[in-house]
Amino acid sequence: MPLLSLQNKNLFLEISPEMGASITKFCDRKKNKDIFRPFPKTKKITKNNCYFSGYFATVPYFGVIHKDTFFYNNKYIKLSRTHPLEPDTIHGEGWVKKWKVKKQTKTSAELIYVHQGKSSFPHKYQACQKFSLNKTSLNISIRLTNLDHLPFDCGIGFHPWFNISAESKIFSNNFLYIENNKNNFKQKKLTTAKLLNLNKHKIDKTFLNWNGKSKLVLNKDISLEIINKKNLNNLHVYTPPKENFFCIEPVTNIGDAFQIKKYSKEYTGLKNLKKNKKFESSVEFKLL
């Protein structure tokens, strides 16, 4: 399946419908600089190589579902793994499945994925994802529709990857997260500062009560503003040690949400979606 190319005078975007509707290239045309991490030229376009892309959507939830923490048919069950490089069920099905192109223009594209509920996530749903370029911004929206006869808990996440540099840092309103101590959960602050040096802090946390606007400095050439356009109350930061990348992920539900819901009354951000109902969120990545 061919790649989709979108562009305006400032930005270029390339999408692989076959590889989870992932972004293989997003760059500043005027500076000739990558914004999202580019897909490696040494890798082939296959569903499992979405792991090496610059972005994918996490639907119908963000994060991990641990063993026996998904509630279905009045009991907690274990779901099958979604990716061979991950030991647990994670990020839903959208990122490892082929999407159908519904519509495309020079600066926008709309793609659809339908999950039948026969493996992994046990409910039927449809995900519709729209990409659009507007001057110096990439806007992405995702709409989930419950096609099942039962309601289910769900969430939406936007998962971009960035190459790290000595200058990489994120500015945000707070860094409050939920700590798990043997399934006892409580809120805790990583720092009272308004920025994180992404080289110094090696973390995998969802920060709560995001005010919907953060500045991200990638390097000396590229800075972004990440803006909540709809229903994104949390910001996940993933900075693995000894790696040359990091992720800043606007999300509706927090990491480990299903486990937290099972063992506590802490906030999870999960949306209970009734039959035939829709849930939508959207984000803007604005070049500064």
* Peptide bond before residue 60 is cis, with ω within 30 degrees of 0: yes
Question: Which H or E element spans position 261?
Answer: helix 257-263
Q: Tell me the CA end-to-end span of the chain in Å, nearest whole number.
A: 33
Closest CA relative to residue 217, chosen from 134, 135, 288, 139? 288
Q: What is the pLDDT of residue 224?
A: 98
Q: What is the pLDDT of residue 1?
A: 78
Tokens of 93: 């099905």
Q: What is the pLDDT of residue 152?
A: 98
* Residue located via tokens 């996940």: 236
Digits of tens for pLDDT over the chain (288 positions)? 799 999 999 999 999 999 999 999 999 999 999 999 999 999 999 989 999 999 999 999 999 999 999 999 999 999 999 999 899 999 999 999 999 999 999 999 999 999 999 999 999 999 999 999 999 999 999 999 999 999 999 999 999 999 999 999 999 999 999 999 999 999 999 999 999 999 999 999 999 999 999 999 999 999 999 999 999 999 999 999 999 999 999 999 999 999 999 999 999 999 999 999 999 999 999 999
Q: How far apart are CA 32 and CA 196, in angstroms?
A: 27
Q: What is the pLDDT of residue 120?
A: 93
Q: What is the pLDDT of residue 221?
A: 97
Q: What is the pLDDT of residue 65?
A: 97
Residue 218's Cβ-side half-sphere holds a number of Cα atoms within 13 Å equal to 26
Residue 68 Rama label (left phi>0; alpha psi -120 to 50; beta): left
Burial 240-272 (b: 16+ CB within 10 A, else e): eeeeeebbbbbbbbbbbbbbbbbeeeebbbbbe
Question: Which H or E element spans position 213?
Answer: strand 213-217
| Torsion sign across C-alpha atoms 246, 248, 253, 254 | positive
Tokens of 274: 């009734």
Domain of residue 65, CATH code: 2.70.98.10
Q: How far apart are CA 130 and CA 205, in angstroms?
A: 27
Count of domains forming the chain: 1
Q: How far apart are CA 35 and CA 137, in angstroms?
A: 11
Range of the domain at 216: 4-287
